[in-house]
Amino acid sequence: MTSKVLYRKWRPQRLTDVVGQESVTQTLQRAVATNRISHAYLLCGPRGTGKTSTARILAKAVNCTSPVDGEPDNTCDACVSISEGRALDLIEIDGASNRGIDDIRSLSDKINFAPNEFRYKVYIVDEVHMLTEQAFNALLKTLEEPPDHAIFILATTEAHKVPLTIISRCQRHDFRRVPLSAMSQKLAELCEAESVQATEEALEILARSATGSLRDAENLLEQAVVSYGSSLQGDQIREMLGLGGDAEALKLAEHVVAKSVGEGLATINEVSNSGADLRQLQRSVTEFLRAVMLVKSGSASELGYSDEVTTKIQEVASGSELSHLLKAIKAFSSADMRHDSSSPLPLELALVESSLAPEPVRQAAPAPQTQNNRPVQQQPARNAAPNSYQNNNSAPSRPPQQRQPDNRPSPRPPPRRDSSEPLPEDPAARLTVQWPQILRDLRNTGNRFKLGPVLRSAKGVSLDGSRIVAPFPHESHYDRFKGEMDNPGVRREVSAIINKAMGADYEIVGELSTENSGPTRKQANQSHLVRAAQLMGARIVDQREDEQS
Ligand SMILES: [Zn+2]
């Protein structure tokens, strides 16, 4: 009873409930209503946009004993058994798993058997592009002459990897990213249903960060509720997503470009007072200024920021001057934070320095170079445009993506890191420095859950030989981590990211931290199922710990 109510709440049960895919769902609905059902469908589109949900609803609709306008009634035996995942005639195959390939091979043997209970046997093949060539051939054979009782619904995030021979035998439907407004509205409905008080801002940040994937948005919302309880503010979501630093850094970059010294100083001090890592602020603001410079010079093909941030960067760029940007990037990238990362002074100096009007050019001798790629000039007082080759304010001709001709550290740091700062040799120290970078690189890694935000909830990450140990205070986050790491594709991606950041192979392992076994643990154990039951007046009478899953 409880699970059914919950299922209804979170998963669409009718085609019209699928969020943001009206053109697809209306077409399918009409097809079912007029009994023009194809034997093979290909559902393409980004992850988390409702492909698998739609496939399941379609499986119900074609088998429903009393469909309404092409929609399943969700009450007949066929609908209920599909909803409850016990329908023998709905066969779901995960193309990404090794078993999926065997499943496809055995499929051609079994395909001709009539359905057990339904009108149609429905095969849903998820991530169909992951199939091996052998499996594709087996699938193609069955698609060439499908028996009347069989319907194939193939789903993929990467249609271009599906052989044309397969595509040409399918009716293709393209899913789009769920629009922001539809996503925010859906999240608001979920909050209402779950008695969660979330500010509009909090939901908007969640929706934006999910970049069109409703599943991501739902998962992030659930993660936020587990972490922060049932009252959600924008700041908490930013903290969870690790966006705090970026927002401040972007604000600072804006002030730098506008030469608003007072406001810029205030921003630096806010960040400093909040106890945040000022080196991170330095890195981020330098990256933003670089992005602004790239946009300004028209060479920004891919900045890697969200649409929201990209729009902001474009706005800032429109009011900027290249020569000033160069000066600011130099000032911020060479601010020396290595000895005292808690002092805001170097950043304050860089801000003031980059905002000063250029002094009349002095023909100073070119700055002497040092061997170790470190800037010699760091004193703001000496900065006033010492670069004799670049002494006017209207020199936009130099392509900014080239190295500056003075051989000083390039104002364009490698992505996400200040090039003037060598990485520590010691692996543990290196992990400390690189961990935020690893989290950022992992922000879009994961099959069902994004590992960046999930790992951000781990506290006290440490190195143990060749393993990186991530202790999770919340069981649900730990489970998500484990679940994702079970996927070979995800594991490969994670290994590559860690190798890049650490310069060697490390295995990352999660563990449930023992410190938080009190109320937090209890809360973590309260799944949506339990909460939904409680909302309906249920009380917990017994609670068992089940460590091994
Ligand atoms: Zn039905």
Instruction: Give 159 Cα–ligand 1 centroid separation in angstroms.
Output: 31
With 80 as the cut, is the pLDDT of residue 221 above it? Answer: yes
**Could you tell me if 149 and 13 lie in one domain?**
yes
Question: Would you say 39 and 146 are in contact if contact means Cβ atoms under 8 Å apart?
Answer: yes
Question: What tokens were used for 126?
Answer: 């998820």
- Residue 536: what pLDDT? 54
State the angle between helix axes of 475-485 and 488-502 in degrees (0 to 180), rounded to the nearest 10.
100
Structure tokens at 316: 């800032």
CA distance 280 to 245: 7
CA of 369 to the centre of ligand 1 (A): 77
Q: How far is CA 437 from each of CA 185, 343, 431, rounded to the nearest angstrom?
A: 32, 22, 10
- Gap from CA of 538 to ligand 1 centroid (Å): 29
Same domain, 295 and 262: yes
How many angstroms does the Cα of residue 68 sit away from the middle of ligand 1? Answer: 9
| Average pLDDT value over all residues in the chain | 80
Task: Confirm whether 372 is domain-assigned.
Answer: no
Count CB neighbours of 425 within 10 A: 8
Q: What confidence tens digit (pLDDT) does each residue in 155-204 have?
A: 999 999 999 999 999 999 999 999 888 999 999 999 998 899 999 889 98
pLDDT value of position 342: 77
Can you count the helices (H) and strands (E) in the chain? Answer: 23, 10
Q: Are residues 166 and 189 in the same domain?
A: no
Task: Give the distance (Å) from ligand 1 centre to CA of residue 61.
Answer: 7
Domain check: are 161 and 14 in the same one? yes
Rg of the chain, C-alpha, whole Å: 28
**CATH number of the domain within which 472 lies:** 3.30.300.180
Q: How far is the CA of 244 from the centre of ligand 1 (A)?
A: 47
Ranges 178-192, 399-413, 424-438, 441-455, most confident: 178-192
Boundaries of domain holding 504:
427-534
What are the two backbone dihedrals, phi and then psi, of residue 187, each rounded to the nearest 5 degrees?
-60, -40
State in Å: Cα 208 to ligand 1 middle: 36
Q: What mean pLDDT is predicted for residues 236-250?
A: 78
Cα–ligand 1 centroid distance for 537 (angstroms): 29
What pairing do the DSSP bridges indicate for beta strands 467-472 and 171-174? Answer: unpaired
| Token pair of 82 as six digits | 């599909």
Q: pLDDT tens digits for 86-108? A: 999 999 998 887 666 677 777 77
Domain for residue 544, yes or no?
A: no
What is the average pLDDT across 253-257?
94
Helix axes 51-63, 22-33, angle to 10 degrees: 10
Q: How many domains does the chain have?
A: 4
Mean pLDDT for the stretch of residues 498-526: 70
What type of residue is 171? Q
43 and 165 belong to one structural domain: yes
pLDDT above 80 for 518? no
Distance 15 CA to ligand 1 centre (A): 13
| Centre of ligand 1 from the C-alpha of residue 146, in Å | 24
Distance 7 CA to ligand 1 centre (A): 16
* Of the listed ranges 185-199, 338-352, 534-548, the one predicted with least confidence: 534-548
CA of residue 62 to ligand 1 center, whole Å: 9
CA atoms within 13 Å, Cβ hemisphere of 512: 20
What is the whole-number distance in angstroms between the Cα of residue 56 and the centre of ligand 1?
12
pLDDT at 54 (0 to 100): 97
Question: pTM for this structure?
Answer: 0.58
Asked if 51 and 95 touch (Cβ cutoff 8 Å), the reply is: no
Residue 380 has pLDDT above 70, yes or no: no
**3-class state of residue 510 by DSSP:** strand
